Amino acid sequence: MTNHTVVTDFFLMEFSESKKLRVIGGFLFLLIYLVSLVGNTFIIMLIAVDHSLHTPMYFFLKNLSFLDVCLISVTVPELILNSLSHRSTISFPGCVCQVFFGIFFGTSEVSLLTAMSYDRYVAICHPLHYDAIMNKEVCVQMVAASWLFGSLFGFLYSYGSFSLSFCGSRKVPKFFCDVPSILKISCSKMHVTIDISVIFGLMYGFFCLVSIEFSYVCIFNTVLRLPLLQGRSKAFSTCMPHLIVITTFFVTAVIAYLKPVPDSPHLLDFLISVLYSVMPPCMNPIIYSLRNKEIKAALCNILWKFNHYEFYWQKSGNSM
């Protein structure tokens, strides 16, 4: 008979056996984490402060930055703590939370990226009806729907994963808990709940991908028919950051999840996991800051106002 035990904790993958390298890696990931937090928080605050950015496009971008902060906070702080404290364990509730919130925020981000592609489609293909279609109520409903789908899939995947039996190794072949890794170390032969969840997840992901592709086919078809080169350039400039973000997110996800989970993970497996869970939240602020003229203009406007107020107060102080 199989010896089933009550699981209290799991052992996460370490990227190096050297304590010195783990400490260096811990500080490196701490730096990456802080850069991601600062970048995304900066975009959130910039959009909130500048009234010229109070549009549906930047409303979605603000929510995307918030999701990026949440997504990277699910896995990286645990990695930093384990690296600096020379341990590799995570509690059973902690592992459950990583699976739930990882799926929750990941699915919500996919949904939000789909909503953003629809927003660009309406703005470019139906500009005269944009304000009527993408009103505030519709935008809020889209964001709420993305969170709803995220919570639904998060519950399904986490419940299905941790209703399984664990009777053997508790070494998770990644630096964080996710569904493929949990299935790898489970001794359960039947995965009915997970199989159903995966089917629904694939169907939803396929629907989002097709919706995004349809939106951009219509967008490119409309843009290429514009008579003025300046109009084409402006339309492409508003779409390219979003398209780059979508490509980065989906490509890294496909690389991470289509690759079979190894029995003995190596450094390459660790880097692939990092590519998926860390790269998109870090790159998104950079992509939108470098490629978006309105973000740059809003930043310059705020800096100009700050310098103006600073000069005013200095002048007032000298006159007193």
Query: CA end-to-end span of the chain, whole Å?
Result: 88
**183-222 exposure pattern, b = at least 16 Cβ within 10 A, e = fewer:** bbbbeeeebeebeebbeebeebbeebeebbeebbebbeeb
* Domain annotation covers residue 5: no
Q: Identify whether 212 is part of a domain.
A: yes
Q: What is the CATH number of the domain that holds 290?
A: 1.20.1070.10
Average pLDDT over residues 122-135: 90
Q: Comparing C-alpha atoms, which of 248, 238, 216 is closest to residue 110?
A: 248
- Asked if residue 275 is part of any domain, the answer here is yes
* DSSP H or E segment with residue 23: helix 19-49
Task: Check pLDDT > 70 for residue 257.
Answer: yes
Write out pLDDT tens, residues 44-76: 988 888 887 888 988 998 999 999 999 999 988
Question: How confident is the model over 160-182, as pLDDT tens digits?
Answer: 877 777 776 778 878 888 888 88
User: Distance (Å, rounded) from C-alpha 120 to C-alpha 180?
Assistant: 34
Q: Is residue 2 part of a domain?
A: no
- Domain extent for 140: 10-308
Total count of domains within the chain:
1
Q: Does a structural domain hold residue 319?
A: no
The verdict on residue 4 lying in a domain is no
- Coil/strand/helix, residue 93: helix
pLDDT at 309 over 70: no
Whole-prediction pTM: 0.84
Look at residue 222 and tell me if it is in a domain: yes
